[in-house]
Amino acid sequence: MPEYQYITLDKNTDEGIATLTLNRPDRRNALNDVMQDEIGDAIDDVESDESIRVMIVTGAGRVFCAGGDLEQLRGGSEPGTWVTDNVDDIRRAFKRTQRFMLGLQRMEKPVIAMINGASVGAGFDLAAGCDIRIGTPRARFMVAYVRIGLFPGFGGTWLYPRMLGSIGKAAEMLFTGDFLEAEEAHRLGFLNHVVEEDDLHEFTMEMARKIANGPPIAIRLSKLMLYKGLEFDLDTAMKMAAAAETITLTSKDHLEGTTAFRESREPRYEGS
């Protein structure tokens, strides 16, 4: 497993669960260029590891992610600071952002955000890019870009209305930079669950285990169609569903599932 500077990647191959931790607590897990590359590398690693069936993303310390590292913006002191006046160089620098944000949804395996604190700016986008979000009452979210005269460069304008359930709420957050607190985030469906801080890790692990013990082929196809379906009309979605269901109906996992049901035991899915 590669050495990382700003993240950790822990794999529990026995349970099929990987945990990616943003590990810059001294900078509130703010994303610099190296960290973004490392997240992209970790996603590729997990995607290619057949022993892993689900990934958890979390942050070290008291904050999930404070967004992009302001010290790497123009005039900052962080190595790799964007001091160029060449706008195309800046645009190309976002390829690392696109790599890991798209990687979260293109990854066949489900991703759970375990949100232990504030998620601001790009951190909010990172949380929105995961499939399931579990937080504590301390979890809160902000589209911070407007507060410093920036546009959401991490995909937020696509993610917010879909994950918050309305263009109106997305517009309010985009235009005001106000916080979305955990209770409202849960009411809107952005947070799947809100649990007490002491219970966050075990609650998240229990859900990860449930997913990891499920049928991998069916779950991976469900994730694919969940996001691709946002682009399809119903007619196309139904045709794609028929193709996907044909795959699962002819799988060994389906046979194992029905056999286990008849034998009143837990199924043992192998992803075949």
Confidence of residue 78 (pLDDT cuts 50, 70, 90): low
How much is the pLDDT for 63?
A: 96
Q: Where are the domains of the chain?
A: 7-212, 216-262
> What is 216-262's CATH number?
1.10.12
What the block records as the tokens of 201 is 């890790």
Asked if residue 73 has pLDDT above 90, the reply is: no
Confidence of residue 76 (pLDDT cuts 50, 70, 90): low
CATH topology for the 7-212 domain: 2-enoyl-CoA Hydratase; Chain A, domain 1 (3.90.226)
Residue 59 has φ and ψ, to the nearest 5°, of: -125, 145
Residue 85's alpha-carbon distances to 13, 74, 154, in angstroms, are 47, 10, 21
Q: Which residues pair with 142 in a beta bridge?
A: 120, 179
Confidence of residue 90 (pLDDT cuts 50, 70, 90): confident
Provide mean pLDDT across the span 250-272.
93
How much is the pLDDT for 196?
A: 97
Asked if residue 81 has pLDDT above 70, the reply is: no
pLDDT digits (tens, 9 = 90+) for 149-174: 888 888 999 999 999 999 999 999 99
| Close Cβ partners of 175 (under 8 Å, ≥ 6 residues apart) | 146
Asked if residue 2 has pLDDT above 90, the reply is: no
Q: Give yes or no for a contact between 117 and 63, defined as CB atoms under 8 angstroms apart.
A: yes
d(CA 143, CA 110): 25
- pTM of the shown model: 0.92
Asked if residue 185 has pLDDT above 70, the reply is: yes
